[in-house]
Structure formats: structure tokens, C-alpha cells
Amino acid sequence: MAVFLLAYRNLGREARQLDSASVAPRHAPEPRAALGHLRWQRVVPALLGTTLVLLGPGLLDDFWTGIVTGGLALAIIFLSFTIVTGEGGMISLCQISFAGVGAIATAQLATEHGWPLGLAVLAGGVLAVPFGALVALLAVRLGDLYLGLATLSFALLADNLLFRIEAFDQVGAGVFLNRPAIGGFTFDDDARLYFLLLAVFVVFALLIANLRRSTTGLELAAIRSSESAATTTGISVARTKLTAFSLSAFIAGVGGGLLATFRFLALPGDYNALLGIVWLAVVVTWGIRSSWGALVAGLALPVIAQLVSDNLEPRYVLLTSVGFGLGAIGLAREPRGMLALQAQQLRILRARLLRTRDPAVTAEPS
Amino acid sequence: MSLPVGDRPLVLSASGVTVRFGGLTALDAVDLQVPVGTTVGLVGPNGAGKTTLFNVISGLLRPDGGSVHLNARDITRLRPVARARQGIARTYQRSELFTELTVRQNLQLAYRARSRTHHLAFDLLGIGSRRDSEEDRVVDELLTSLDLDAMAASPTASLPLGTGRLVEVGRALAATPEIVLLDEPSAGLDEHETDRLAEALRRARAASTVAFLLVEHDVDFVLGLSERVSVLDFGRLIAVGDPDSIRADPTVRAAYLGTEIES
């Protein structure tokens, strides 16, 4: 613990030096045009990441393939944070409840009513939307902090009222859920499911990328900057927040259904409010503003948890959460998360390398 | 607009607007008329209620009494968004730009908010926000007239204060409004930027029937641009008239102008 804290102190000092060296305001977004000559720094990590993700199950044994497959299901749920918190600028602590609604609905429809699994997962997403819309009504009325508290109480309410219903909870046993199948092709093998989940993730990530560039995306950015200016410009804050929350609830619902099918089990207790807070901290640590952040966060959470439980005594298991808590604090340094921080450091490193080779090139503050 | 100011129809009229904050009467039965295509100046010392009146007109503040009409339609009960869509645009005393967006995007968004509907499904599929040529024309013209072409692609967070104010004026005009409320647009601007702003406002008025309601500390700037001036003091309207008569009005001189315009 002491080591962690000391490390953070030093990191903080270094960050301050960096900041004082840069002229531009810290939170200023990077001008896109200026990135032209730095493009390789975006393309290379993206290519590397894509290759790794595609090769994933081929490089890993069955056990670890299972772990990363579960991670992909989490990553899909985490995309819901990318929309509501990353794009919408709203703190939501109840995304996990939307995922729980999706998981429960999928299990009920598929196992109890015999729906095809794919259809049940979609329906789970759709059923989560009204819950998202309900929370959005709060979001329109409440400020940042109060919204955080209100969403937390919503999540606790879901824990205690909805998730306790006997038909869903089955005395703590949950409801069995099968893996999806298309025709005769079943996804009972983790590696197969991995690629199905990856496809779903990519589709959602592309939709989010489109959204970000669209008028709705611009409106969300405008509301993040100034709500009063947005309203007097004719942008409906209520409608835009409703859109963000509903969409995020749909994605979380679908992700929850997929996580449950990965686990063969929809257990409401797996979607409790406290775990939801850890989830947000993890996503925020890796990058709330990009789909890559959600992907890495989703994969990292179960992998790190497994590594910790393999190598450390049980009493240290909490360290994972502590680590991510500290990661979230590290946001003070780079609000866009770890991945953006690494990118920034790559740029600084490159600038330094170039400077030693060619004194004419000066370091550019990012 | 060739009609004399007095004969033009009103685009905006506020009558008997009263606002109380606790025991303090910020606005006391204020009447204000803005004819179509006219620049009306609103002057008064600090705390006279100018920004409060702006907030009432743009809908951010519900008045305790009185009514606001836009094009003879009662808008007193409308929300700010609805008013903006019907043609009221405004700027703020302290910069309220969309700092994460570029200069061009600030203007585009204002144009779209007023004149386009968009659908989530299309936005998600990436086919909802195709440029339309009319949008490009309006935005490009404004960028040029405000001399903002060079920084169209820059994020507004990195702009100097004066340039930021011009962007805010551009954003208000990009909505192709009926009336723009300008809350001290020249505050923090240097001489060159103030000239550029005045020129841009004149050009906008010449090119359309847009009206301006202008709150400003720089008295010469207001009197130079306005065709009619209202003077507020302690929440009450103490004089209305053309710039020359306001300059000469003894009540106004006593309450506010003092020696400032003798230069």
C-alpha cells in the first residue's frame, strides 16, 4: 500500500512538471488537424491491438481463453459507460443494473419461454431501455454529484427489489442459460463465443464512433461544455440525455445477456451495485472516452483478478480494486484515461528522441 | 430596412416585466420594444438589471410579472429551447462556448439546432449528419465576415478571449435568428477586435432582417451601433430614445453616462 502511494506521489510530481512545460490548457482537446504527422502513433497501437485481439484465443490455452471471453462480454457492457459518461459527461453508477435486467430478461425468455438466444439477448437490451429512460429523467433534473448518488440508489433499489424476486434469484442459484446457436453451429466452445462477442463489440463500437461524429454527438459535447448555452442555442438537453441513457441501457442490457450466456447462468447477485462502482473505476482508469478503453478495461478486469488470485494470498485480492481506485485518481493527470496517457508519453518520448538526433526539432507539448 | 424605426413591426416586446430576488426588485415593470431589423441598445450601470432582463427574454428566468412576445406571439411560458428554435439567440457575458468543439462545429451545431431535424438511427449508422450546402454557405459566410477562417478547425478551448467572443456572436448568428441578445460582446476585446465585431454586426443586419438587443458598457460602441437606446437604472426604465436624445437626456447623464461620453 505504502509503495503504491509513494509511486503515486512521484507520478504526480512528474505530471506537474509536464504540465507546467506545456503551454496549452490541460483539458484542451487535441486539434485533429495537428495530429496528421503523428498518425502512425495512432495506427500502430491500433493495428497491434487488433492483431492481438484477433489472435487472442489462438495464443491462449482453454482456461485463459475462457477468461478473456468473459472479459469481452464485460467490454460490451463497458461501452455503455463510454456513451453515458464518456460522451454524455454524466456519472452513472447503475449501468450494472441495466446489465442485470438484460441478463435476467435473457434467461427468462430463453430458458423459461424457449426463445432463441439471440432474440432473447436483443429483447433483454430493449427491456433495459425503459429503466435507462427513467434514470435519464433524473439526469435532466440533477447536477453531477446528485446524479451519481441517485443512480447509486437506483442500483441499490434494483438489487433489493427487482433482483430479489424468487423467479430470477432461485434462492441464490440463478437461472441456467444456454450458449447461442445458429442453425447447427453452437457457440459452446469459448473460442467460438469469443469471436461472436468480438463481432458484437465491434458493431457497437462502430455505432458509437458514428454517433460521436453525428449531430447527436456534437450536441452531447456541447452539453458537456455549457448546458445553458446549449439550451439557448436550441439544443434540447432533456432529449439528448434521454438518448444517451437509453442507448447506454440497451448496450448494457445486451452485454448483460451475453455475460450471462458466457457464464451459463443469470444470477442477479452478480449485478450488484457495489461491483458496478468497481466497473466504473476500471473503465475510467483505462479510458472512458474511447471504445479501446472499454475493450482493454473489460479484458483487464478478469485477467488481473485471475493473476492476483493465482499468485497472491486471498487476503490480497482486494488489492485489485484498490489499484483501480488509484487508477481512477490518476485521472487528475489525464482525464481521458490510461491509454491516452500512454499515447501522450509515446509522443513525448518520440519528441525527446528526435531532439537528441536533431537539435532543430523542439519538443511539442501535447 | 427602409421604414423609419417607429413604423417597423415589433419582433420582440416585453411588457411590465418584474423580477424579484427575495426582497430585491431586480426589474420593476420594464417595457422594452425591439422593431424588426433594428439594433436596440440597453445601457445602465452595473446591477441595473440588464442581464436579468436577458435571462427573462431567453427563458432562463421566469418573471414574477409581465409578458414577453416574439412576433406578436406570447412566449412567456415557453422554455429556453423552444424560444431558441423560434428565433431568439444570445451570447453570454462570461464565455459559454462549446469548448470541446471546433469553431466551425460551434456554428454548425447552432445552425442545425434551428433548422434541421435529425434522427438517432441515422446518426448511429453515420448517415444522419451529411453536410448540406445551405449549412456550409451560412457557416462559411459567418466565418469569413468574423475573420475566423484561419481558426475554423481549432478547438474553441484554445482561443484567446477576444476571438472566443467573436465565435459566440457567430454561433448566435448561425442559428439564423430573428433577434440576437448580445450581452457585453465587446468586453475584453481590443480595439481591432471591437471594430471587427461592430462591422460583422452591421453586415449581418444589412444582409438579413435580424434584430439586435445590445447590452454594453462601452457607451460609444452602443450609441454608434444602435438606432434606439433604452436606459435601465435600479431595475426601472428611465429613458428610451434615439442615441442623440439619450446622449442629451439630463436624467440619463445623472444616472449613468456622466463624463464618459464627453470625450
Say if A336 falls within a structural domain: no
**Which residue in B has a C-alpha nearest to residue A237's C-alpha?**
B81
Say if A12 falls within a structural domain: no
Q: How confident is the model at residue A260 (pLDDT cuts 50, 70, 90)?
A: very high
**Which residue in A has a C-alpha nearest to residue B57's C-alpha?**
A232
CA B181 to chain centre: 2
**Which residue in A has a C-alpha nearest to residue B111's C-alpha?**
A233
Extract the C-alpha cell encoding B49: 438589471
| A210-214, B56-60, B152-156, B255-259: segment of lowest average pLDDT | B255-259
Overall average pLDDT of the B129-142 stretch: 80
Residues in A closer than 8 angstroms to B81, CB to CB, are: 231, 234-237
Contact A235 B109 (CB under 8 A): yes
Cross-chain CB nearest to B84 (options A210, A219, A231):
A231
Q: Which residues contact A241 (CB under 8 A, 6 or more apart)?
A: A88, A90, A136, A139, A140, A223
pLDDT at A250 over 90: yes
Overall average pLDDT of the A262-272 stretch: 89
The DSSP letter of residue A12 is: H
The answer to whether residues B210 and B202 touch, using CB atoms and an 8 Å cutoff, is no
Contact A232 B84 (CB under 8 A): yes
| A215-229, A235-249, A294-308, B122-136: segment of lowest average pLDDT | B122-136
Predicted confidence at residue B157, as pLDDT, reads 86
Predicted confidence at residue B74, as pLDDT, reads 92
| Rg of chain A in Å (alpha carbons) | 21
User: What is the DSSP annotation of A240-290?
Assistant: HHHHHHHHHHHHHHHHHHHHHHHHTEE-GGGG-HHHHHHHHHHHHHH-SSS
Contact B101 A225 (CB under 8 A): yes
Which of residues 11 through 30 in chain A touch B, CB cutoff 8 A? 24-25, 27-29
| A281-290, B9-18, B21-30, B245-254: segment of lowest average pLDDT | B245-254
Q: What is the pTM of this model?
A: 0.82
What pLDDT digit, counting tens, does each position of B202-242 carry? 888 888 888 999 998 777 888 888 889 988 888 888 888 88
Overall average pLDDT of the A88-115 stretch: 91
The DSSP letter of residue B185 is: T
Extract the C-alpha cell encoding B54: 436577458
CA–CA gap between residue B69 and residue B74 (Å, rounded) = 4
Residue matched to cell numbers 447462468: A265
| A10-19, A97-106, A325-334, B164-173: segment of lowest average pLDDT | A10-19
| B7-11, B19-23, B105-109, B111-115: segment of lowest average pLDDT | B111-115
Averaged confidence pLDDT in chain A: 80
Say if A15 falls within a structural domain: no
Is A229 an 8 Å CB contact of chain B?
yes
Query: Within a 13 Å sphere around the CA of A355, how many CA atoms are in the beta-carbon half?
Result: 9
pLDDT at A12 over 50: no
Overall average pLDDT of the B118-140 stretch: 76
CA–CA gap between residue B68 and residue B17 (Å, rounded) = 8
Predicted confidence at residue A230, as pLDDT, reads 92
Is A203 an 8 Å CB contact of chain B?
no
CA dist A197 → A58, A76, A108, A236 (Å): 16, 8, 21, 35
The residue with greater pLDDT, A66 or A364, is A66
Q: Which residues contact B73 (CB under 8 A, 6 or more apart)?
A: B86
The DSSP letter of residue A112 is: I
Predicted confidence at residue A6, as pLDDT, reads 45
**Which residue in A has a C-alpha nearest to residue B61's C-alpha?**
A228
Q: Which residues contact A83 (CB under 8 A, 6 or more apart)?
A: A208, A211, A244, A247, A248, A251
Under 8 Å CB pairs connecting chains A and B tally to 119
Overall average pLDDT of the B123-145 stretch: 79
Which of residues 32 through 71 in chain A touch B, CB cutoff 8 A? 32-33
Overall average pLDDT of the A245-263 stretch: 94
Whole domain around residue A183: which residue ranges? 60-312
Residue A293 in 3-state DSSP?
helix
Is A342 an 8 Å CB contact of chain B?
no
Predicted confidence at residue A251, as pLDDT, reads 96
Extract the C-alpha cell encoding A243: 438518448
Q: How confident is the model at residue A73 (pLDDT cuts 50, 70, 90)?
A: very high
Residues in A closer than 8 angstroms to B175, CB to CB, are: 233-234
The answer to whether residues B12 and B33 touch, using CB atoms and an 8 Å cutoff, is yes
Residues in A closer than 8 angstroms to B88, CB to CB, are: 232
Overall average pLDDT of the A144-163 stretch: 88
Cross-chain CB nearest to B154 (options A31, A219, A234):
A31
Predicted confidence at residue A22, as pLDDT, reads 37
**Which residue in A has a C-alpha nearest to residue B82's C-alpha?**
A234
pLDDT at A88 over 60: yes
Is A219 an 8 Å CB contact of chain B?
yes
Q: How confident is the model at residue B259 (pLDDT cuts 50, 70, 90)?
A: very low
pLDDT at A198 over 90: yes
Say if A40 falls within a structural domain: no
Say if A193 falls within a structural domain: yes
Say if A25 falls within a structural domain: no
Question: What is the third-level CATH fold of B8-96+173-262?
Answer: Rossmann fold (3.40.50)
pLDDT at B255 over 80: no
Extract the C-alpha cell encoding A71: 472479459
Extract the C-alpha cell encoding A23: 503551454
CA A263 to chain centre: 19
Say if A320 falls within a structural domain: no
Q: For chain A, how many structural domains are there in total?
A: 1
Contact A218 B96 (CB under 8 A): no
**Which residue in B has a C-alpha nearest to residue A25's C-alpha?**
B158
pLDDT at A134 over 80: yes
Averaged confidence pLDDT in chain B: 84
pLDDT at A280 over 80: yes
Say if A329 falls within a structural domain: no
Is A216 an 8 Å CB contact of chain B?
yes
Cross-chain CB nearest to A215 (options B128, B154, B158):
B128
Residue B4 in 3-state DSSP?
coil
CA dihedral (A338, A340, A346, A350) in degrees, to 10, reads: -160
Mutate to test the interface with A, among B96, B102, B123 (most CBs of A within 10 A): B123
Domain residues of chain B, as ranges?
8-96+173-262
CA dist B64 → B28, B169, B237 (Å): 10, 30, 17
Is A222 an 8 Å CB contact of chain B?
yes
Q: How confident is the model at residue A123 (pLDDT cuts 50, 70, 90)?
A: very high
Mutate to test the interface with A, among B104, B124, B156 (most CBs of A within 10 A): B124
